[in-house]
Amino acid sequence: MTGAPLPEPAASPTATDAGVPSTARPPRPRWRQTLGLLARNPTAAVAATVLLLIVLMAVFDESLAPSGPNEIAVEDRLQPPSPAHPFGTDDLGRDILSRVVLGAAVSLRVGFLAVAFALVVGALIGLLAGYYGRWVDDVLMRFMDVLFAFPAVLLAIAVLAVRGPGAGNTALAIGIVYIPVFARVTRASVLGVREEVYVRASRSVGASDFRLLTRHVLPNAAPPIIVQTSISLAFAVLAEAALSFLGLGTQPPNPSWGLMLAEGRGFIDLAWWLAFFPGMAIFLTVLCFNLLGDGLRDVLDPRQRTLMAGSGR
Amino acid sequence: MFGLVHLVPGDPIRLALGTRFDQETYDALRARAGLDQPLVEQFFGWAGRALRGDLGVSFRTGETVTSLISERLPATLTLAVASILVALLIAVPLGTLSALRPRSVVDRVATVLSQIGISVPEFWMAIVLILVFAGTLGWLPSGGYVPLTEDPAGWAQRLLMPAVVTGVVSGSVITRFVRSSVLEALGADHVRTAQAKGLPARQVFTWHVLRNALLPLVTVTGVQLAYLLSGVVVVEIVFSWPGLGQLALQAVQSRDYPVLQGAILLFAVVFLLINLVVDLLYTAIDPRIRR
């Protein structure tokens, strides 16, 4: 793999200092560098494109779906895949393709909400624990350890048992499960940044903790958190499917992929397409989030990259 | 020990669950189960009895929690051990091969396979396997469990599919660890020295690479085993496998505190035990840690 596309050295020595590009060629913002690098990684680029399509599909679900997700046509029930119904129909004659398209909105919404919740709470806890250390660290991280020690699925099920089933509660349940993961990742990353010279320098000129945290610590501690976000999205979609499959997540007649799988399970001998296509949708989405996460790790976390790519030391 | 005290069945869960009872049952059960006492007293009462092996009685069935759990334990242990074997059978060869030839075809195929294994929903794979092997081909029963002592052939037939499903997922995770730890070990100075000494490649690999790559493998296998012993609820349900996951799910759904507490205590103990075994294995594998 080639290195980062650093700004090309200026032809004339206009740079004021070594390594600082001239004002004529401002350095590309970091997010654009990242995007550029990501585009050179074919797997990650394909994964990102497919995800974009899935997200678009989820956003424009109503206008994309060939028919209403809950449109019942009993005379068409359990039709195998055909030009009229590319993914077939279910036991009530509902078009599976339409339900898969609309299910994307449900599954992704829950996934994004869950990860956003875990990210905000977890990163805040990790930031405080890592930055202040000592008793703050001890109290917060022991609490995280307790949360982490519960089997993930059971913890989510317990939250749902308390709050009742439904999409919003499913997001909350999955979010709670992933808080410790984000707290740990953030804390580890902050510990690495906290003692950097620029942080100490900024502190020595009297910058407030808030300024230090938001301007210096968080931006520099961000890469592993971003990678974790992508990977967690994969697991959140998977978890939503599992919980809906158990009947605790999204409730019928709303089309969630996990729920469709559960409904299709009863007809598996008669009509394989009922369970097959929603399963494929889950699999494809999760796979893409995972691949994107790997790609992001390659780009953002070079230490991991040497390890993973095996370019030796 | 610190962890154990804190882990003891979920003060938060327990408190919150309480609010969902309907009032009559709630009051009756509260009195019977001693839930009207202060939480701290409840906790010490429960912990004291638990230490003497008394985990209480199920709200739902009236059976003792210990008997409910011990009924389920064989099935769970069987599945977990079988799955971890499947996982290691997949992960060790695949991870090692791809580390030995980084960026080769084998490596790429292995990477793709492990990504697929991590991403595939377990319950979907379970359903597809049932469709193919129990439905179309009719080779295997679609689910259930019989003890080994009663019917060894039936036991093996019923174990195969669930073990493969959970094994493939765990195996995919472990493959990635094996790959990176073997890669790291390959790059270490002592390996280069051994190669420079002219030792046969096989000897270098067995004694210098594999042994060093073993530590992370032991850790991740421990984590996976702990997960398999506690978290395969969905697979258990698809294959009608009467394990602890199903028991815990039922307990959550019926707010059966004693059973839930017993199950979570067991998971915590298992978690600690596995960590202990992992630590002991560490010292056995790596003499440096003994000091």
Residues A159-189 as b/e (b if ≥16 CB within 10 A, e otherwise) read bbbbeebbbebbbbbbbbbbbbbbbbbbbeb
In a domain, B131, yes or no: yes
Interface residue ranges in chain A relative to chain B, Cβ cutoff 8 Å: 142, 145-146, 149-154, 157-158, 161-162, 234, 238, 241-242, 245-246, 258, 261, 264-265, 268-269, 272, 275-276, 279, 282-283, 286-287, 290-291, 294, 307-310, 312-313
Minimum-distance CB partner of B271 among A149, A161, A272: A149
The distance of B154 to chain A (nearest Cα, Å) reads 22
Q: What angle do CA A24, A27, A29 make, to 5 degrees?
A: 135
Can you count the helices (H) and strands (E) in chain B?
Answer: 15, 0
Looking at the structure, tell me whether residues B19 and B98 fall in a common domain. no
User: Does one domain contain both B86 and B39?
Assistant: no
Cross-chain CB nearest to A158 (options B13, B116, B121)? B13
Q: Is the pTM of this model over 0.80?
A: no
Contact A162 B16 (CB under 8 A): yes
Q: How far is B137 from chain A (nearest CA, A)?
A: 12
Same domain, residue pair B88 and B44: no
For chain B positions 63-102, those within 8 Å of chain A (CB to CB) are 99, 102
* Residue B78 included in any domain: yes
**B128 touches A: beta carbon within 8 Å:** yes
Provide the ipTM.
0.71
Q: Do residues B7 and B139 share a domain?
A: no
Tens digits of residue pLDDT in A14-69: 333 444 444 555 556 666 776 776 677 777 788 888 888 888 877 776 666 666 66
Q: How would DSSP label each residue in A150-212?
A: S-HHHHHHHHHHHH-SSHHHHHHHHHHHHHHHHHHHHHHHHHHHHT-HHHHHHHHTT--HHHI
Q: What whole-number distance in Å separates Cα of residue B6 and Cα of residue B47?
A: 11
Residue of A nearest to B237 (CA): A246
Residues B98 and B205 in one domain: yes
If one compares A280 and B65, the residue with the highest pLDDT of the two is A280
B109 touches chain A (CB under 8 A): no
Asked if the structure places residue B202 within a domain, the reply is yes
**Is the domain of B126 the same as that of B256?**
yes
% of chain B at pLDDT higher than 70: 75
Among A275, A290, A307, select the one facing B127 at the smallest CB separation.
Answer: A275
Q: Is residue B62 part of a domain?
A: no
Condensed to tens digits (0 to 9), the pLDDT of residues B121-148 reads: 888 888 888 888 877 777 777 777 777 7
Question: A83-112 pLDDT, tens per residue?
Answer: 666 666 666 667 777 777 778 888 888 889
Q: What are phi and psi of A19, to 5 degrees?
A: 85, -15
Q: Please report residues of B whose CB lies closer than 8 A to that of A294.
A: 115
b vs e for B35-74, b when ≥16 Cβ sit within 10 Å of the residue's Cβ?
beeeeeebbeebeeebeeeebbbbbeeeebbbebbeebee
Same domain for B18 and B154, yes or no, is: no
Percent of residues, chain B, with pLDDT higher than 90: 0
Residues of A within 8 A of B254 (CB-CB) are: none
What is the domain range of residue B45? 2-51
Nearest C-alpha in A relative to B189: A313
Co-location of B253 and B189 in the same domain:
yes
Task: Residue count of chain A, please give it.
Answer: 313
DSSP secondary structure, B222-278, as one string:
HHHHHHHHH--HHHHHHTT---HHHHHHHHHHTT-HHHHHHHHHHHHHHHHHHHHHH
B195 with B247, same domain?
A: yes
Q: What is the pLDDT of residue B60?
A: 64
Q: Is residue B65 part of a domain?
A: no
Query: What are the structural domains of chain A?
Result: 52-312 (1.10.3720.10)
B204 and B163 inside one domain: yes
Interchain pair A283, B120: CB under 8 A: yes
Task: Give B14-62 pLDDT, tens digit per residue.
Answer: 443 444 544 454 455 455 555 555 555 666 666 666 666 666 666 666 6
Same-domain check for residues B40 and B84: no
In a structure prediction context, what are the per-residue pLDDT tens digits for chain A, which is 313 residues long? 334 444 434 334 433 344 444 455 555 666 677 677 667 777 778 888 888 888 887 777 666 666 666 666 666 666 666 666 666 666 666 777 777 777 888 888 888 999 999 999 988 888 888 888 788 788 788 778 777 766 677 777 777 776 777 788 888 888 888 888 888 888 888 887 777 778 788 877 877 778 888 777 887 778 888 888 888 888 888 888 888 888 777 777 777 888 888 877 777 777 777 778 888 888 888 888 888 887 777 777 655 543 333 332 2
Query: Sorting pLDDT into bands at 50, 70 and 90, what band is B13?
Result: very low
Partner-chain contact B127 A162, CB within 8 Å: no
B59 in a domain, yes or no?
Answer: no
Q: B280 lies in a domain?
A: yes
Q: Which of B118, B131, B231 sits opposite A153 (nearest CB)?
A: B231
Closest-CA distance, A288 to chain B, in angstroms, reads 9
Q: Which residues of A touch B17 (CB under 8 A)?
A: 158, 161-162
Give the nearest partner residue to B124 out of A282, A294, A312, using CB atoms: A282
How many interface pairs between A and B have CB atoms less than 8 angstroms apart?
A: 124
Identify whether B277 is part of a domain.
Answer: yes
Between chains, do B115 and A291 touch, taking CB under 8 Å as contact? Answer: yes
Count: domains in chain B: 2
| Residue ranges of B 175-234 with Cβ closer than 8 A to chain A | 180, 183-184, 187, 227, 230-231, 233-234
Residue-averaged pLDDT of chain A: 74
The mean pLDDT value of chain B amounts to 74
Tokens, residue A97: 């393709």
Residues B271, B130 share a domain:
yes
